[in-house]
Structure formats: structure tokens, C-alpha cells
């Protein structure tokens, strides 16, 4: 099963006010395992970033000036997500902005719903924890996921944190000694930021020999003798 955990940053809150996407970050999960195949780009929105939005993500107008336009990235992005299930926190916001960007293109492209199923972790969290705070920071605290390196929002960083939250929230195991964590410089360049990229190794498979198989069968026979109707039968 292929899932893409996705997050965006924008110039503001409303597409109706002409706001645009400035960053897309995606983390790939294959059978609930984080892979190295992430997709991340900053985007020139061709408009100013609102002061309030800048306070949230810290991405400046000057930084975005030389970044590619959405239309230059859209084919690669849609190819990357096609057929996957998108995992998004407050999906209506991100999907709304993505569809808005697609609708602005001169060439017709499919809407997100035509390419992917979408799972909203905010809806899931509200069902599991009604009446409680369910933003990403609150979920990290509830599930004891370290987000101390998240001083400002960033699409790729938030997608990686959301991947951990989603896996724990749905019963999976993430940062519990099953992976190596590598620290590297962030793509912003001169910002001095660092991000952590978790690289999961293969799960160990322990295969028993003939002796252990015989011992297992003997133990199952013993259990059958102790019960009239073993559940596995």
C-alpha cells in the first residue's frame, strides 16, 4: 500500500483572496514504512506573502523570487502522488489550495480527487479525541513524538512529523529503535536550519529450524488438550 503524507505552506489562508501555495512537502509510506522517496519544492507564488503567514512559516518573498512556478512542477508532482492515498492534516485546506493551483493552469489537469484517495488525520483525531486539541503540536504531545526542532512550520518537516503521528495514531510503530536517524542541512540553504530524515531498515525475519517447528507443534498439541475449542481452530 502506497501512501503520501502531504503538507503545504501558503501566502495566506484563503484562495478566494488570491493566496497561493509556496511550499509542498511529501513523505512516502510503503506498507506503513517511511521511505527515502520524498518530494519537496518551494514555489514562486507570483504575489506577496502575508505578514501573518510569514510569522507562521518564516518563508520570505525574497527567498521565493527565484523558485519555480507551480506550472513548472505540476506534472512531476501529479505523477508522484498519482494512485496513492494522501494523508493530510486538515485536508480540506491543502486539497483546496492544490485544486486552486490546478484550476489556474492554462492546460487542463485532473483535480486531486481524480488521482488519489484522501485521508484527513484531523477528522480521525477529532473522532478519537473529541473535545480535545487536535492540532499537530497537541497530537505530538499526546503521542510523545519529539517535535522540539519545529520552531516554525515547514511543509516537509511537518509531513515527516505527521507521518509519525499517523502511524502511532493508527497503531503502528515508528521511532522506537527500528530506524536510523540522519541529520542534514535543510534545502533553504543559508537559513542554517537542519532537518531529520528517518531511514527505516528492513524488518528482521527470524525463520525457525525443524526442531523449533516440532516444539511449536508440540506446544499447540498441549494447548489443544487444555481446551475444548481452541480459537485458532
The set of catalytic residues is 153
Cα–Cα distance, 66 to 64 (Å, whole number): 6
Cα–Cα distance, 1 to 213 (Å, whole number): 31
C-alpha cell at 158: 511537518
**CA 120 to chain centroid:** 11
C-alpha cell at 48: 506577496
* 183: three-class secondary structure by DSSP: strand
Cα–Cα distance, 15 to 19 (Å, whole number): 5
Amino acid at each position: 500500500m502506497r501512501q503520501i503524507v502531504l503538507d503545504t505552506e501558503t501566502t495566506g489562508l484563503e484562495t478566494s483572496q488570491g493566496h497561493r501555495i509556496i511550499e509542498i512537502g511529501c513523505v512516502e509510506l510503503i506498507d506503513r514504512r517511511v521511505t527515502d522517496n520524498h518530494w519537496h519544492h518551494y514555489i514562486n507564488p507570483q504575489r506577496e506573502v502575508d505578514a501573518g503567514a510569514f510569522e507562521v512559516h518564516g518563508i520570505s518573498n525574497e527567498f521565493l523570487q527565484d523558485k519555480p512556478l507551480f506550472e513548472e512542477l505540476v506534472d512531476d508532482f501529479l505523477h508522484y502522488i498519482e494512485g496513492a492515498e494522501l494523508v493530510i492534516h486538515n485536508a480540506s485546506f491543502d486539497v483546496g489550495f492544490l485544486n486552486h493551483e490546478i484550476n489556474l493552469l492554462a492546460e487542463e489537469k485532473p483535480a486531486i480527487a481524480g488521482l488519489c484517495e484522501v485521508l484527513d488525520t484531523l477528522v480521525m483525531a477529532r473522532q478519537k479525541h473529541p473535545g480535545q486539541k487536535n492540532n499537530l503540536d497537541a497530537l505530538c504531545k499526546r503521542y510523545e513524538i519529539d517535535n522540539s526542532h519545529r520552531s516554525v512550520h515547514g511543509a516537509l518537516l511537518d509531513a515527516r512529523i505527521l507521518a509519525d503521528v499517523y502511524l502511532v495514531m493508527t497503531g503502528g510503530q515508528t521511532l522506537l529503535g527500528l530506524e536510523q536517524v540522519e541529520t542534514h542541512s535543510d534545502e533553504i540553504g543559508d537559513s542554517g536550519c537542519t532537518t531529520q530524515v528517518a531511514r527505516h531498515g528492513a524488518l528482521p525475519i527470524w525463520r525457525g529450524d525443524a526442531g523449533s517447528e516440532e516444539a511449536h507443534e508440540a506446544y499447540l498439541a498441549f494447548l489443544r488438550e487444555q481446551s475444548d475449542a481452541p480459537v485458532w481452530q
